[in-house]
Chains A and B, each alone.
Chain A
Amino acid sequence: SYDLTQPLSVSVALGQTARINCGGNSIGSKSVHWYQQRPGQAPVVVIYRDSNRPSGIPERFSGSNSGSRATLTISRAQVGDEADYYCQVWDSSTAVFGGGTKLTVL
Protein backbone atom coordinates (compact mmCIF):
# COMPACT_ATOMS: atom_id res chain seq x y z
CA SER A 1 0.00 0.00 0.00
CA TYR A 2 1.02 3.58 -0.58
CA ASP A 3 1.90 5.72 2.43
CA LEU A 4 1.82 9.48 2.84
CA THR A 5 3.81 11.03 5.65
CA GLN A 6 2.94 14.35 7.23
CA PRO A 7 4.33 16.04 10.34
CA LEU A 8 1.96 15.83 13.28
CA SER A 9 2.12 19.55 13.90
CA VAL A 10 3.39 22.79 12.44
CA SER A 11 3.48 26.14 14.18
CA VAL A 12 3.66 29.54 12.52
CA ALA A 13 3.71 33.07 13.81
CA LEU A 14 0.78 35.25 12.89
CA GLY A 15 1.35 36.81 9.49
CA GLN A 16 4.23 34.52 8.59
CA THR A 17 4.41 31.64 6.10
CA ALA A 18 3.55 28.07 7.02
CA ARG A 19 4.68 25.09 5.01
CA ILE A 20 3.19 21.66 5.46
CA ASN A 21 4.94 18.77 3.77
CA CYS A 22 3.55 15.51 2.53
CA GLY A 23 6.03 12.79 1.71
CA GLY A 24 5.51 9.75 -0.47
CA ASN A 25 7.38 7.52 -2.87
CA SER A 26 7.58 9.40 -6.18
CA ILE A 27 4.69 11.57 -5.09
CA GLY A 28 5.75 14.03 -7.77
CA SER A 29 4.29 11.63 -10.33
CA LYS A 30 0.86 11.81 -8.70
CA SER A 31 -1.73 14.54 -8.28
CA VAL A 32 -1.93 15.78 -4.72
CA HIS A 33 -4.97 17.33 -3.10
CA TRP A 34 -5.05 19.19 0.19
CA TYR A 35 -7.95 19.48 2.64
CA GLN A 36 -8.47 21.77 5.58
CA GLN A 37 -10.52 20.55 8.51
CA ARG A 38 -11.42 23.01 11.22
CA PRO A 39 -12.49 21.59 14.61
CA GLY A 40 -15.93 20.05 14.46
CA GLN A 41 -16.31 20.63 10.75
CA ALA A 42 -16.09 18.59 7.58
CA PRO A 43 -12.96 18.84 5.45
CA VAL A 44 -12.77 21.39 2.67
CA VAL A 45 -10.47 21.16 -0.34
CA VAL A 46 -8.01 24.04 -0.42
CA ILE A 47 -5.69 22.81 -3.20
CA TYR A 48 -6.36 20.23 -5.91
CA ARG A 49 -4.07 18.72 -8.53
CA ASP A 50 -0.94 19.94 -6.78
CA SER A 51 -1.42 23.67 -7.13
CA ASN A 52 -4.96 24.61 -8.10
CA ARG A 53 -7.15 26.65 -5.80
CA PRO A 54 -10.92 26.15 -5.79
CA SER A 55 -13.02 29.26 -6.00
CA GLY A 56 -13.38 30.89 -2.62
CA ILE A 57 -9.99 29.76 -1.33
CA PRO A 58 -7.66 32.70 -0.66
CA GLU A 59 -4.60 33.22 -2.81
CA ARG A 60 -2.57 32.83 0.37
CA PHE A 61 -2.93 29.07 -0.13
CA SER A 62 -0.63 27.49 -2.68
CA GLY A 63 0.79 24.08 -3.42
CA SER A 64 3.73 22.40 -5.09
CA ASN A 65 4.72 18.84 -5.80
CA SER A 66 8.00 17.36 -6.93
CA GLY A 67 10.10 14.29 -6.33
CA SER A 68 9.17 12.70 -3.04
CA ARG A 69 7.49 15.68 -1.44
CA ALA A 70 4.42 17.84 -1.88
CA THR A 71 4.04 21.07 0.02
CA LEU A 72 1.11 23.20 1.05
CA THR A 73 2.14 26.78 1.66
CA ILE A 74 0.03 29.24 3.60
CA SER A 75 1.23 32.83 3.36
CA ARG A 76 0.38 35.56 5.85
CA ALA A 77 -1.05 33.01 8.24
CA GLN A 78 -4.18 34.00 10.13
CA VAL A 79 -5.81 32.67 13.26
CA GLY A 80 -8.59 31.34 11.07
CA ASP A 81 -6.10 29.05 9.32
CA GLU A 82 -5.69 26.97 12.46
CA ALA A 83 -6.91 23.53 11.45
CA ASP A 84 -5.87 20.05 10.52
CA TYR A 85 -4.56 19.68 6.99
CA TYR A 86 -4.57 16.43 5.02
CA CYS A 87 -2.87 15.56 1.77
CA GLN A 88 -4.45 12.96 -0.49
CA VAL A 89 -3.51 11.03 -3.60
CA TRP A 90 -4.84 8.10 -5.60
CA ASP A 91 -2.87 4.88 -5.82
CA SER A 92 -4.10 1.75 -7.54
CA SER A 93 -7.65 3.14 -7.69
CA THR A 94 -7.59 3.74 -3.94
CA ALA A 95 -7.68 7.13 -2.26
CA VAL A 96 -4.93 7.55 0.29
CA PHE A 97 -4.80 10.27 2.93
CA GLY A 98 -1.85 11.47 4.89
CA GLY A 99 -2.11 11.28 8.65
CA GLY A 100 -2.84 14.98 8.95
CA THR A 101 -0.97 18.00 10.28
CA LYS A 102 -2.27 20.30 12.97
CA LEU A 103 -1.44 23.91 12.15
CA THR A 104 -1.11 26.29 15.09
CA VAL A 105 -0.89 30.03 14.54
CA LEU A 106 1.00 31.70 17.37
Chain B
Amino acid sequence: QVQLQESGPGLVKPSQTLSVTCSVSGSSISSGAYYWTWIRQHPGKGLEWIGYIYNGGTTSYNPSLRSRLSMSLDTSRNRFSLRLSSVTAADAAVYYCARGRAGSFHFDSWGQGTLVTVSS
Protein backbone atom coordinates (compact mmCIF):
# COMPACT_ATOMS: atom_id res chain seq x y z
CA GLN B 1 0.00 0.00 0.00
CA VAL B 2 1.47 3.31 -1.07
CA GLN B 3 1.98 5.99 1.56
CA LEU B 4 3.12 9.56 1.14
CA GLN B 5 4.30 11.77 3.97
CA GLU B 6 5.15 15.44 3.71
CA SER B 7 7.70 17.15 5.88
CA GLY B 8 8.11 20.87 5.93
CA PRO B 9 9.35 23.82 7.98
CA GLY B 10 5.99 24.89 9.39
CA LEU B 11 7.03 28.54 9.38
CA VAL B 12 8.85 30.47 6.66
CA LYS B 13 9.80 34.15 6.64
CA PRO B 14 8.67 36.37 3.79
CA SER B 15 11.09 36.49 0.86
CA GLN B 16 12.72 33.22 1.91
CA THR B 17 12.55 29.85 0.16
CA LEU B 18 10.03 27.22 1.15
CA SER B 19 11.18 23.62 0.97
CA VAL B 20 8.89 20.64 1.43
CA THR B 21 9.75 16.98 1.01
CA CYS B 22 7.51 14.01 0.36
CA SER B 23 8.68 10.58 1.47
CA VAL B 24 7.13 7.72 -0.43
CA SER B 25 6.74 4.11 0.64
CA GLY B 26 5.13 1.26 -1.23
CA SER B 27 5.85 2.79 -4.64
CA SER B 28 9.05 3.68 -6.45
CA ILE B 29 9.46 7.27 -7.56
CA SER B 30 11.67 5.93 -10.36
CA SER B 31 8.66 4.29 -11.96
CA GLY B 32 7.50 5.86 -15.18
CA ALA B 33 3.95 4.92 -14.26
CA TYR B 34 3.46 7.85 -11.91
CA TYR B 35 3.68 11.61 -11.74
CA TRP B 36 4.88 12.92 -8.38
CA THR B 37 2.76 15.92 -7.71
CA TRP B 38 2.38 18.89 -5.41
CA ILE B 39 -0.96 20.50 -4.66
CA ARG B 40 -1.74 23.20 -2.14
CA GLN B 41 -4.81 24.46 -0.38
CA HIS B 42 -5.08 27.92 1.09
CA PRO B 43 -6.99 28.07 4.38
CA GLY B 44 -10.68 27.56 3.73
CA LYS B 45 -10.15 27.51 -0.02
CA GLY B 46 -9.99 25.04 -2.87
CA LEU B 47 -7.21 22.95 -4.34
CA GLU B 48 -4.45 24.46 -6.45
CA TRP B 49 -2.14 22.30 -8.56
CA ILE B 50 1.49 23.32 -8.17
CA GLY B 51 3.21 20.91 -10.51
CA TYR B 52 4.71 17.48 -10.98
CA ILE B 53 7.97 15.70 -11.60
CA TYR B 54 8.47 12.26 -13.14
CA ASN B 55 10.58 9.89 -15.12
CA GLY B 56 14.06 11.06 -14.24
CA GLY B 57 13.28 14.69 -13.69
CA THR B 58 10.80 15.89 -16.27
CA THR B 59 8.68 18.61 -14.75
CA SER B 60 5.53 20.55 -15.42
CA TYR B 61 4.70 23.59 -13.34
CA ASN B 62 1.71 25.81 -12.76
CA PRO B 63 2.38 28.86 -14.95
CA SER B 64 1.49 31.19 -12.10
CA LEU B 65 4.30 29.73 -9.96
CA ARG B 66 6.83 28.65 -12.56
CA SER B 67 9.28 31.50 -12.07
CA ARG B 68 9.69 30.68 -8.36
CA LEU B 69 9.36 26.92 -8.43
CA SER B 70 11.64 23.93 -8.64
CA MET B 71 11.11 20.24 -7.99
CA SER B 72 13.51 17.38 -7.62
CA LEU B 73 13.67 13.63 -7.12
CA ASP B 74 15.86 11.80 -4.62
CA THR B 75 15.72 8.23 -5.85
CA SER B 76 18.19 6.98 -3.23
CA ARG B 77 15.71 7.92 -0.51
CA ASN B 78 12.58 7.48 -2.58
CA ARG B 79 11.38 10.97 -1.98
CA PHE B 80 10.73 14.14 -3.94
CA SER B 81 10.89 17.79 -3.03
CA LEU B 82 9.45 21.18 -3.74
CA ARG B 83 11.22 24.52 -3.47
CA LEU B 84 9.33 27.77 -3.78
CA SER B 85 11.36 30.95 -3.61
CA SER B 86 10.51 34.50 -2.58
CA VAL B 87 7.48 33.46 -0.57
CA THR B 88 4.81 35.87 0.55
CA ALA B 89 1.74 35.55 2.74
CA ALA B 90 -0.09 34.33 -0.35
CA ASP B 91 1.99 31.15 -0.22
CA ALA B 92 0.69 30.17 3.21
CA ALA B 93 -1.25 26.96 2.70
CA VAL B 94 -1.44 23.25 3.34
CA TYR B 95 0.91 21.57 0.91
CA TYR B 96 -0.02 18.08 -0.26
CA CYS B 97 2.06 15.62 -2.19
CA ALA B 98 0.20 13.16 -4.35
CA ARG B 99 0.82 10.36 -6.80
CA GLY B 100 -0.56 10.93 -10.25
CA ARG B 101 -1.23 7.86 -12.28
CA ALA B 102 0.03 7.92 -15.86
CA GLY B 103 -2.63 6.99 -18.37
CA SER B 104 -5.64 8.09 -16.40
CA PHE B 105 -3.82 11.07 -14.91
CA HIS B 106 -5.76 11.17 -11.69
CA PHE B 107 -4.25 11.57 -8.25
CA ASP B 108 -4.71 8.19 -6.65
CA SER B 109 -2.81 8.65 -3.39
CA TRP B 110 -2.24 11.71 -1.24
CA GLY B 111 -0.18 12.63 1.77
CA GLN B 112 -1.86 14.11 4.82
CA GLY B 113 -0.54 17.56 4.03
CA THR B 114 1.77 19.94 5.83
CA LEU B 115 0.75 23.42 6.90
CA VAL B 116 3.12 26.21 5.94
CA THR B 117 2.78 29.63 7.54
CA VAL B 118 4.56 32.68 6.16
CA SER B 119 5.41 35.25 8.79
CA SER B 120 8.33 37.29 10.03
Contact = CB atoms under 8 A, between A and B. Distances in A.
Interface residues of A, number: 24
A97 B48 contact: yes
A100 B46 contact: yes
B96 A31 contact: no
Contacts of B107: 33, 35, 43, 45, 88
A44 interface: yes
Contacts of A97: 46-49
Interface residues on B, range: 10 to 19
B26 to A, nearest CB: 15
Nearest to A43: B110
Contacts of B108: 45, 48, 54
Indicate the member of B96, B110, B112, B113 with the most A CB atoms within 10 Å: B110
